C-alpha cells in the first residue's frame, strides 16, 4: 500500500522545487519592467502546477519502508523482505474478471508451517514490479509442504496489482513478502462466528473454514460457522473450486457450517456450482442478520423485556458468544458494520450491526 511522505520530506521537496522555479522565473525578468498582473497570475499558476507535479511524482517514486524492502532469494519467506516466487497455474473462472492463481515458493524459502503467523488467517503482500505497488492477498488453503499457495484474484478497473497479476503466465516470477496475520483466531473463544462477505472478500473466510473444517477428517473446533456471501450476479460468485466444498460440507454438517448466498440480480448465466434455487435475491440486511443470530425467532415479550443492547453485544440468542467478521468492498463494510477508522483502523461499529446493538467486542472488519 502506498504511504504518504513525512511532512518534513514534502516540505523539503516543495522548498527545493519552489526555489528552483523562482530562480528561473527571476532570470527571465532581469532588466525588464515589473510584470503585469496577468503575467503574475500566469507565473503563479505555472509555479503551482509544476510544484504540485513534483510533489505527486515524489509521492509515487519516493521509496517507502515496504516497497524499499530488499529482495532475498536464499532466505526464508518473511514479512521483512521480498521473496521471488513462480506462477505455476493461472486458471479462468466463471467470472472472466477473476482467476485462480497458484504461486510456488522455492524450496529453500519455505518456512516452518508450524509458525503462529500461518494459523489460520493470514495474507501475503504481492508486489507489482512495474509501478512498485504492493497489495495483500489471502491464500485460500494456506501453504503446502511444496510451497504452493492458491489465490482467487479479481481484476478491477482501478486495481493496479490485480490487473498486473492477470497478465502473468505460468513460469513468470513475481515477488511476495509475508506471512502477516489478518485476524487473531482463538480456538474456543466464540460459540459462533458469522462471516459476512462480498466479492473476493470471501477469501479470508474460506481460509478459516478450510483450516478449521474442510481440511480436517475429524474437526476439533466446537465453533459453529455461518457464511453470508453476496455478489452482484450468479457468475460473480466464487468459482466451483471454492463454492462446492462449502456447500457440500454445509449440507452434510449443518450443525457446524451454514452457507447463504445472495445476488443483487439473478440475471445472466447460471453458476455451475450454485443453482438459482439456492440463491437469495437482495442484499444482506437487518432481517438476514437477525435470522442468522436467531434474534428474530424470540417472542414479543422477550423483545420488549429481554436483553439490553450491551448484553446483545456480548451474546447471541441463547446466551451464545458470537463474533461477526466483515470483509468486502468499503461501501458494503460500512453498511454492515460502519466505515473503517483512520488508516484502516477498526473505527466504531455502525451500520446494521451497530443498529442491532453490537460493539467492538463482537465485530471485526477485515
| pLDDT at residue 118, rounded to an integer | 84
Q: Which residues of the chain have pLDDT under 50?
A: 1-35, 37-64, 297-311, 313
Query: How large is the C-alpha radius of gyration of the chain?
Result: 25
pLDDT attached to residue 177? 96
* pLDDT for residue 119: 83
In this predicted structure, what is the pLDDT of residue 36?
52
The pLDDT, as a whole number, for residue 316 is: 57
* 178: preceding bond cis by omega (within 30 degrees): no
In this prediction, residue 315 carries a pLDDT of 58
Do you find a cis peptide bond into 345, omega within 30 degrees of 0? no
Q: Cβ–Cβ contacts within 10 Å for residue 127, how many?
A: 21
Residues 6+ apart with CB under 8 A from 305: none
- Asked if residues 48 and 25 have their Cβ atoms less than 8 Å apart, the reply is no
Q: Which residues have a Cβ under 8 Å from the Cβ of 326 and sit 6 or more positions away?
A: 195, 196, 197, 332, 333, 336, 337, 353, 363, 364, 365, 366
73-113: per-residue pLDDT in tens? 999 999 999 999 999 999 999 999 999 999 999 999 999 98
pTM: 0.78
CB contact set of 236 (below 8 Å; sequence gap of 6+): 94, 95, 98, 199, 263
Which cell numbers hold the place of 48?
Answer: 503551482
- Host H or E run for residue 181: strand 173-181
User: C-alpha distances in angstroms, 194 versus 16, 18, 227, 273?
Assistant: 53, 54, 6, 22
- DSSP line for 297-330: GS-HHHHHHS--HHHHHH--GGG--EEEEEES-H
Cell digits of residue 35: 510584470
b or e along 180-207 (b: 16 or more beta carbons within 10 Å of the residue's beta carbon)?
ebbbebeeeebbbbbbbbbbbbbbbbbb
Task: For the beta carbon of residue 352, count every other beta carbon within 10 angstroms.
Answer: 21
Q: Mapping DSSP to helix (H, G, I), strand (E, B) and coil, where does residue 226 land? A: strand
In the block, cell 508486489 appears at 127
Q: What pLDDT shows up at residue 31?
A: 37
pLDDT computed for residue 344 by the predictor: 83
Q: What's residue 255's pLDDT?
A: 95
Bridge partners of 195, per DSSP, are 227, 325
Amino acid at each position: 500500500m502506498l504511504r504518504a511522505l513525512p511532512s518534513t520530506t514534502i516540505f523539503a521537496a516543495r522548498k527545493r522545487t519552489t526555489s528552483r522555479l523562482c530562480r528561473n522565473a527571476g532570470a527571465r525578468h532581469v532588466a525588464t519592467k515589473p510584470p503585469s498582473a496577468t503575467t503574475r497570475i500566469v507565473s503563479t499558476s505555472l509555479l503551482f502546477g509544476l510544484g504540485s507535479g513534483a510533489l505527486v511524482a515524489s509521492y509515487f517514486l519516493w521509496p517507502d519502508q515496504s516497497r524499499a524492502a530488499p529482495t532475498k532469494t536464499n532466505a526464508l519467506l518473511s514479512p521483512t523482505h521480498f521473496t521471488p516466487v513462480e506462477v505455476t497455474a493461472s486458471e479462468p473462472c466463471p467470472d472472466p474478471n477473476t482467476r485462480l492463481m497458484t504461486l510456488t515458493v522455492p524450496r529453500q524459502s519455505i518456512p516452518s508451517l508450524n509458525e503462529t503467523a500461518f494459523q489460520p488467517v493470514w495474507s501475503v503482500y504481492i508486489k507489482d514490479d512495474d509501478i512498485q505497488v504492493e497489495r495483500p492477498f489471502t491464500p485460500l488453503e494456506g501453504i503446502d509442504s511444496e510451497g504452493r499457495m492458491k489465490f482467487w484474484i479479481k481484476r478491477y478497473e482501478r486495481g493496479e496489482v490485480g490487473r498486473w497479476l492477470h497478465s502473468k503466465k505460468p513460469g513468470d516470477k513475481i515477488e511476495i513478502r509475508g506471512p502477516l496475520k489478518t485476524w487473531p483466531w482463538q480456538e474456543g473463544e466464540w460459540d459462533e462466528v458469522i462471516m459476512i462477505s462480498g466479492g473476493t472478500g470471501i477469501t479470508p473466510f474460506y481460509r478459516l473454514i478450510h483450516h478449521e473444517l474442510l481440511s480436517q477428517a475429524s474437526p476439533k473446533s466446537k465453533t459453529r460457522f455461518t457464511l453470508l456471501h453476496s455478489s452482484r450476479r450468479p457468475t460473480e460468485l466464487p468459482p466451483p473450486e471454492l463454492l462446492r466444498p462449502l456447500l457440500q460440507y454445509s449440507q452434510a454438517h449443518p450443525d457446524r457450517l451454514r452457507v447463504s448466498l445472495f445476488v443483487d440480480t439473478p440475471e445472466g448465466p447460471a453458476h455451475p456450482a450454485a443453482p438459482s434455487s439456492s440463491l437469495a435475491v437482495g442484499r444482506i440486511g437487518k432481517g438476514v442478520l437477525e435470522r442468522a443470530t436467531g434474534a428474530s425467532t424470540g417472542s414479543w415479550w422477550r423483545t420488549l423485556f429481554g436483553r439490553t443492547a450491551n448484553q446483545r453485544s456480548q451474546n447471541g440468542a441463547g446466551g451464545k458468544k458470537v463474533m461477526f467478521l466483515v470483509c468486502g468492498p468499503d461501501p458494503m463494510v460500512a453498511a454492515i458494520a460502519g466505515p473503517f477508522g483512520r488508516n484502516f483502523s477498526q473505527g466504531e461499529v455502525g451500520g446494521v450491526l451497530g443498529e442491532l446493538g453490537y460493539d467492538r467486542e463482537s465485530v471485526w472488519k477485515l
